[in-house]
Structure 1
């Protein structure tokens, strides 16, 4: 028996099937996998049971008498001596409920009377659509458990891949479908994995929904018999619902108590999750490529691998689930993990200048940004082609000679002389019909022959599945980065797909556009990162419309919403944090009154709202007073002092802004416990009520911490030094009164401890 511990900490963490050359590039980018711990994956040959143990989680599967791969256990880590009964297929309760649907299988084909959502559905050339998968073999090698299933009659083999992160117990699952027959067949549906939960009548589902400028709304509902479908058919991840879920057994008032199972897809295209609750109140979750308008022709000898479907468990409530997922993302998913660079303080010129950018104006803004401690200056839209507004220029990625007669170099040199690095906005996947590129290559966009080409934001979507389009996009980005000292790209994507046709491809392959587009997007990012390893990238899509563990694996930070109203952002950022780490979330300080709601807030309030993630500034500095600059300089310095704890620490939601709460409080605790950072917000005082007393979390009980009010005021009777137990159980009171008030506290552990 060979036993190897899987790990996501290095280059073998790719999220989907890529070409061999792309995999080589990724391995070079992240380094080779390492680390062998002989107890993470074990196989009991006598019982035919696989057991995966990591962190505080055990995942156990077995091979039953029907040669099906069956889930036996997923939950809190079992003791080494604990044993489970061998897998045994469930009998149906009647002739209507066959065993194939009643048994909690890990991966199913559509066949044998299956009525639940199948993982794999195939149509063969002779019209057969029946697919029954049985256990064939397995290997434990190169940090991966691979279990092979095969159809009972045809040479269709499915390799199920399991990789576990030993620090968090998060498990990544995917499937690779291989055609070993002599003819091509059509994959009509392929979902990466099935997660099975035991019977309970008290499962609570959480998921995230939204719209433009109103993203990241946490929804909660009780699971009852039936099916809930979460999906995007938009060609990208989508803002209406995000590919993340959490299921809690029995609703808990305390965020840090209770059993929670959670999962997220690593895919940036159309996707689907199905949450089925059967007649026995057992829950079955499947997820992967959206089957809508989907068909993938698999030729003999070829294979298709699904995206990764990640899953985790904790008994520390939804708060604990978030912290585990954050730790996994920061240490295993984001580029350069686990030794990633903290996010620099950023200034973006968009709200100051719009499309009206030029060398002199940008340099003047750069001087002002540098004066308050900004570390990265980003020039937004309007620098290229004939880009005077959003009606023209996308696709023509040459530097506008009227705006920048000497190219970008003089401005970049100026930015560097001011002590900042330089970033640039791009939207590589789009084209305006009013552009040289479109006039030359109208066939390069997604389209159906003879049908209208629906515009969104006056633009069309380039068909990145085409190799000539992929080469063009990679080529201009590579040229831009090679010829200019650019440290950062804000990569935007401002519309959904329409008319998703690929008329130049063979008819039977045209629906493969949904997969090949995203594969080529990923491959461009991989190659750019290899050739330009010091360039960082932000994923932006009209706000938070393309946020998932696939794009996060290849980009350094995420833009969660175009809505920068500091009060709205409290709930937007709160929802974002359920699935994604605040350390990758970009948050801007913009002008007041804010354009979204015409709401006026103080500069201090706006800064503190944005300091709960990666701090950015997008205000028009040309309109600031000297007092504004002094305030901003002070707050930027305070943020830098606490940045490591905010971006890399553990998040506790002390008071949620949801449900029209007048208060919102977040706490970040450093990994080593040396510091805690608290942000408190008040919408408005009512009837003279004091601000709620705060009971902190995550401190070392016997350590001594000194409290500091960086912004805002503590109540007069507050002690300055006390134990972690004191701050967690006695609590602390803040003096917040009025409208749109905020406070910023730090607690520092005594250096001797």
Structure 2
């Protein structure tokens, strides 16, 4: 037990110097999280809970100011340290319901990020039906003038083919002043974003930020595949943020805690920087993401991946079609070759609603699929396969062979969505089925890469007995993550790619286990740049799989353009490379050679955006990576508008004497000029729909 430090009428329980953040307890036992110079009234109770029969003290759209949160009182705290982390647990209890809350705040020495989660225990004698629980609350966020007027709110919309679309608005445009002094209350509303159903990022990223005019930023991330929500609003003249997993109002989640039972919330992370704005904050969040995820050699090796799907075979692989692609991909320098959807399809009615057994299609591979996998290895590449493990097609024999309890059900009826049923991986038969599939593919077949896709939104979840759908979804996803981890325990060299129709399940519950994330299914090479450039806001660069699909009918400019977008992330190469002329093929190979040269730095670099986060229709887009030895910048020019040159600010290199070098394309006919005194890089791209990748060191 560590002692509290008294500060007037408050006692300081815990501090994070890099964040400038403190947990305080007042004379009544209420605990709040905030900065040292903030009024106590602006803080939010450290844990906010709604339960049936115990709602909010001020009714509205906000899920703070709850009756239980107001009553939760301090009863102790403790800190444990190891060589890498410090973990503080603050213990609270509600005297009415006898609900105990243990708030775990985890930090890394010298790092400006915090990870939080909450454990609830029913210590009373009666069941308690939970309806919402915060993972983390923070109050007292202000600008330099001590109010919220100078704050800017940032969030990201997400959709199929249109991922990572960042937007911003003045805080006061979303949370207007309401003359609290005239009414005696705050407003009933807030700014909120949330998920819907089983695509965790089908609507928005679980990431948001508040920035001030002086370069300060608060940035947060919720780590949940099964429902999340954040809200921000005004409390006592300052902004607050509350981070949630699933709740009843938005996700049909409620959870009954019987006496003695416990519930663990999803985790969330918080970053604060005092200067550097979003670029600096996303750099710190990148550090957290790297510290959070399961260690795997893929994060350091970053092999080049060829996948036969996008704009190429599109789910129609055969031995005849694959063999020339395998030879060409190996000659170009690919190191993994993935056979995507369709390899199991021997059904005249189509494979979409018949999947589930994951056996190779004899009609597609007359000599057996092993012949193709052996050819991949013979050309120096690791073979990979596409899999959609959580679904079973309605026409699949598995839909009848597995017990009803192995599938998602609501109201006692098996859920069907887009011709598929959904497995509940808490059921031993569902898990045994998938274990047998993966052990066959990764074991007997020697497959070293699995692309795990997820192409349906199954809705709020499944009802297993008396549980709510949202609780069923959370239970399934926790079992799914446990299954993935167990697969990697049995096959430690196997690489798992996380895909959800592109980037529709792009969260760090998944990405703490999976090695890569598909960023999009976008097939238009001119629409991909804003997704590729902003992908590092959602995922570390070395996990961000970006499609590059050069084609023999493309011009050299188009080939260079599509390749450029993947060079600062993970290359997902596709296209009919076997049909290219020598100049086209040489351009592809040269891009892969560049990537192999710079990839050791990508694995440790921090992202930044010299032109700011991209807009969907921006003519000029720029993405940078700041490494230990080099700074890399990709610049795209789309369309004829806005002239042939653009000035980029690269503040961290101001004063450095350097000469920009062109990495890609080799036949670059534009210019890149550096102004050391101002930290300005001026790039000219004389033709529209072209791109360049530069190194500055």
Does the alignment pair 1:683 with 2:632? no
Does the alignment pair 1:483 with 2:438? no
Q: Name the counterpart of 1:67.
A: 29
Q: Name the counterpart of 1:10.
A: none
* Superposition TM-score, scaled by structure 1 size: 0.80
Q: Which runs of 5+ in 2 are unaligned?
A: 142-146, 177-188
Choose which of 324, 337, 340 in structure 1 pairs with 2:284.
Answer: 324
Q: Name the counterpart of 2:379.
A: 418
Choose which of 219, 224, 231 in structure 2 pairs with 1:262.
Answer: 219
The answer (yes or no) to whether the contact 2:161–2:520 under 8 Å persists in 1 is: yes
Q: Name the counterpart of 1:357.
A: 317
Quote the offset at 1:414 in angstroms. Answer: 2.2
Helix, strand or coil at the partner of 1:242:
strand
The answer (yes or no) to whether the contact 2:160–2:202 under 8 Å persists in 1 is: yes
Q: Name the counterpart of 2:160.
A: 212
Quote the offset at 1:691 in angstroms. Answer: 0.6
Taking the aligned partners of 2:517 and 2:322, their CA distance within structure 1 comes to 24
Helix, strand or coil at the partner of 2:526:
helix
Q: Name the counterpart of 2:89.
A: 146
C-alpha change, 1:182 and 1:470, in structure 2 (3 Å) is farther
The answer (yes or no) to whether the contact 2:517–2:539 under 8 Å persists in 1 is: no
Taking the aligned partners of 1:686 and 1:391, their CA distance within structure 2 comes to 42
Note the alpha carbon deviations across 1:112-150, whole angstroms, 9 max, x for none.
96327447989xxxxxx8982111111112531001111
Does the alignment pair 1:524 with 2:483? yes
Taking the aligned partners of 1:208 and 1:643, their CA distance within structure 2 comes to 27
The answer (yes or no) to whether the contact 2:116–2:268 under 8 Å persists in 1 is: yes
Taking the aligned partners of 1:486 and 1:119, their CA distance within structure 2 comes to 49
After superposition, residues 420-439 of structure 1 pair within 5 angstroms as 420-439=381-400
Does the alignment pair 1:184 with 2:123? no
The answer (yes or no) to whether the contact 2:230–2:241 under 8 Å persists in 1 is: no
Helix, strand or coil at the partner of 2:430:
helix
Q: Name the counterpart of 1:309.
A: 268
Taking the aligned partners of 1:615 and 1:604, their CA distance within structure 2 comes to 13
The answer (yes or no) to whether the contact 2:662–2:692 under 8 Å persists in 1 is: no
After superposition, residues 585-604 of structure 1 pair within 5 angstroms as 585-591=544-550, 602-604=558-560
Quote the offset at 1:650 in angstroms. Answer: 2.4
Does the alignment pair 1:367 with 2:321? no
The answer (yes or no) to whether the contact 2:161–2:521 under 8 Å persists in 1 is: yes
The answer (yes or no) to whether the contact 2:384–2:448 under 8 Å persists in 1 is: yes
C-alpha change, 1:356 and 1:573, in structure 2 (3 Å) is closer
Quote the offset at 1:459 in angstroms. Answer: 2.1
Q: Name the counterpart of 2:186.
A: none
C-alpha change, 1:593 and 1:68, in structure 2 (3 Å) is farther
Taking the aligned partners of 2:663 and 2:460, their CA distance within structure 1 comes to 55
Choose which of 181, 193, 196 in structure 2 pairs with 1:230.
Answer: 193
After superposition, residues 612-631 of structure 1 pair within 5 angstroms as 612-631=568-587
Taking the aligned partners of 1:88 and 1:627, their CA distance within structure 2 comes to 66
Quote the offset at 1:227 in angstroms. Answer: 0.6
The answer (yes or no) to whether the contact 1:592–1:600 under 8 Å persists in 2 is: no
After superposition, residues 16-165 of structure 1 pair within 5 angstroms as 43-44=4-5, 48-53=11-16, 56-73=18-35, 84=36, 90=41, 103-110=43-50, 114-115=57-58, 117-118=62-63, 132-142=71-81, 143-165=86-108
647-656 vs 445-454, greater mean Cα deviation: 445-454
Taking the aligned partners of 1:475 and 1:728, their CA distance within structure 2 comes to 62
Taking the aligned partners of 1:439 and 1:113, their CA distance within structure 2 comes to 46
Taking the aligned partners of 1:738 and 1:512, their CA distance within structure 2 comes to 54
The answer (yes or no) to whether the contact 1:120–1:190 under 8 Å persists in 2 is: no
Quote the offset at 1:89 in angstroms. Answer: 5.4
Quote the offset at 1:290 in angstroms. Answer: 3.1
609-618 vs 390-399, greater mean Cα deviation: 390-399
Quote the offset at 1:587 in angstroms. Answer: 1.0
Taking the aligned partners of 1:435 and 1:626, their CA distance within structure 2 comes to 45
Taking the aligned partners of 1:392 and 1:727, their CA distance within structure 2 comes to 59
335-344 vs 739-748, greater mean Cα deviation: 335-344
Quote the offset at 1:339 in angstroms. Answer: 9.2
Quote the offset at 1:338 in angstroms. Answer: 10
After superposition, residues 183-582 of structure 1 pair within 5 angstroms as 183-198=126-141, 199-223=147-171, 224-225=175-176, 226-250=189-213, 258-278=215-235, 280-291=237-248, 292-315=251-274, 316-330=276-290, 332-336=291-295, 340-351=299-310, 352-384=312-344, 386=346, 389-404=350-365, 407-441=368-402, 443=404, 444-449=406-411, 453-456=415-418, 458-498=419-459, 500-502=461-463, 505-508=464-467, 512-582=471-541
Quote the offset at 1:697 in angstroms. Answer: 3.9
* Superposition TM-score, scaled by structure 2 size: 0.86
Helix, strand or coil at the partner of 2:306:
strand
Q: Name the counterpart of 2:179.
A: none
Q: Name the counterpart of 1:739.
A: 688
Taking the aligned partners of 2:211 and 2:651, their CA distance within structure 1 comes to 21
Taking the aligned partners of 1:690 and 1:130, their CA distance within structure 2 comes to 57
Helix, strand or coil at the partner of 2:300:
coil
Helix, strand or coil at the partner of 1:739:
coil
Taking the aligned partners of 2:21 and 2:550, their CA distance within structure 1 comes to 50
Taking the aligned partners of 1:121 and 1:686, their CA distance within structure 2 comes to 52
The answer (yes or no) to whether the contact 1:109–1:133 under 8 Å persists in 2 is: no
Helix, strand or coil at the partner of 2:480:
helix
Q: Count residues in correspondence.
A: 658
Quote the offset at 1:524 in angstroms. Answer: 0.4
Note the alpha carbon deviations across 1:675-734, whole angstroms, 9 max, x for none.
2222222223458x4412444343384565563464354767x78xx9xxx546264444
Q: Name the counterpart of 1:33.
A: none
Taking the aligned partners of 1:216 and 1:701, their CA distance within structure 2 comes to 33
Does the alignment pair 1:650 with 2:606? yes
541-550 vs 577-586, greater mean Cα deviation: 577-586
